[in-house]
Amino acid sequence: MSIETSLHQMSAGDLAAGLRKKTFSATELYDATIARIERLDGEVNAVVVRDFERARADARQADVAISRGEFKALTGIPMTVKESFDLRGYPTTWGFEMHREHRAREDALAVQRLKGAGAVILGKTNVPPALADWQSENPIYGRTHNPHALERSAGGSSGGSAASVAMGFAALEVGTDIGGSVRVPAAFCGVYGHKTSYGVIPMGGHFPGGLQPAAPLLGVAGPIARSAADLATALDVIAGPDADSPANKLALPLPRHGLLKSYRVFVLDHHPVARANSEVLGAIETLADQLVKEGASVARQSSLLPDINASWRTYQAMLHTIITRGDPNNSRPPISSHDWFGLLDDQQRIRRQWADFFRHFDIVLCPAFGTPAYIHTSEPDWRKRELPMDGEPSKFGDQLGWAGIATVANLPSTAIPLGVNKAGLPLSVQAIGPFLEDKTTIAFAGLVGHDIVPPPIA
């Protein structure tokens, strides 16, 4: 089997091992990856900005480094990044026609760190306008299709990112998440995705059209990969303070446990607003049963659980304020500064409740999204969309409830693949953990995640 035809089955760790053993060179790996993109991406439309010439030069430099025995964390590893990150010389449009002619003057900070670790950045992947949908389609680059079923969404807003990883177009990706934008695409495409603790990864160079406003609250960057170990590798590369950070060092704690039987797990399979269908809940229940058999502690009731309904209301109000800032089409009046500070008070109260909860538990399991990947819709108004749920309609926007649990509390959460259903659509769960304990949720994902099921066209 050639490198090109097996890329979708290999993790970044596998590729690094091949480079170290000189099974293939970085240039050969680059050539195989480009050939794969050019052969298969026409149907998927994931990699919409292509920086192949510069990447070829970077691959050659990686080979020179390898010949000298110089290896960094990502030396020679082919990657793509979400379109919303600056890549020098290319537009950062966020799907807006008005930014089509923009050209970034330098790479985003996360991209700089990836390149500094030796990664070969091939280009950028598709997003919805304003990064504000769970499907990735915009007037500049068109629609990204789910590799497992082309009529279905690859997720959003990091939909191109997850599709790229699932297809073997990139060994790693970096997306962003404020409303499930890493976790939902990872779930839909059957790969691993990690929403980081708030503030762990600086967001420099992640604004449309070269704007440089203050970084929004709630929003984070995070890696997408074909293994949990790759998530940890990428996190170590891109996490850490920037020049604007009040501290000059970040030391994320090691995972709480090394053995599955040591984990104290809480299963949250109900929400006051968001629903989940029988397939998603069944996959989570099967995982919970497996955890019990492995000796882990599994609970479904606790007086320590924060009020999920109150969290939902706070998250909804904060998210709406953040995403409508400066939007001329927003029909609702802005809230007062006093109201905003009240929301921050509510958020802090929620964060303290979760801190107390995680003194007694290590992981919360809940849906990343209430269904597998849904069929694309052309209806732009979320209020008019319906999401089929076990044969009944449900409100599309209510699915923000699952994403908001971790987001409003600034908590880390890892989307974990749990195989596929009878129709071949990926199933997933998110594992939420304590603030700054990103390595705990990633380690847990590595212990319970299923092998990646390749998309049929891959």
Radius of gyration of the chain (CA): 21
What's the rounded Cα separation, in Å, for the pair 164 and 83?
12
DSSP per residue, 99-160: GTT---SS--HHHHHHHHTT-EEEEEE---GGG-SSS-EETTTEEPEETTEEEEE--SSSHH
How do beta strands 392-395 and 145-146 pair? unpaired
Q: What is the pLDDT of residue 212?
A: 78
Respond yes or no: is residue 21 known to be catalytic. no
Name the catalytic one among 25, 84, 153, 157: 157
Q: Name the average pLDDT for the chain.
A: 96
109 CB neighbour count, 10 Å cutoff: 21
pLDDT tier at 229, thresholds 50, 70, 90: very high
Does 3-238 match 260-444 in CATH topology? yes
Respond yes or no: is residue 157 known to be catalytic. yes
pLDDT (average), residues 346-369: 98
Question: In CATH, what class is 3-238?
Answer: alpha beta
What's the rounded Cα separation, in Å, for the pair 404 and 64?
45
Q: What is the pLDDT of residue 1?
A: 57
pLDDT tier at 6, thresholds 50, 70, 90: very high
Contacts of 62 (CB under 8 A, 6+ apart): 19, 26, 75, 76, 118, 120
Q: What is the pLDDT of residue 324?
A: 83
Residue 328 has pLDDT above 60, yes or no: no
**What digits encode the pLDDT tens for the residues 29-71?**
999 999 999 999 999 999 999 999 999 999 999 999 999 999 9
User: What ranges do the domains of the chain cover?
Assistant: 3-238, 260-444
Percent over 90 (pLDDT), the chain: 92
- How far apart, in Å, do the first and last CA atoms of the chain sit? 14
Token reading at 309: 């309904």
CATH T-level topology, domain 260-444: Amidase signature (AS) enzymes (3.90.1300)
pLDDT (average), residues 162-174: 98
What's the rounded Cα separation, in Å, for the pair 188 and 193?
11
How do beta strands 137-138 and 47-50 pair? unpaired
**Phi, psi dihedrals of residue 10, rounded to the nearest 5°:** -110, 135
Name the catalytic one among 11, 82, 195, 227: 82
Name the catalytic one among 153, 158, 161, 181: 181
Respond yes or no: is residue 249 known to be catalytic. no
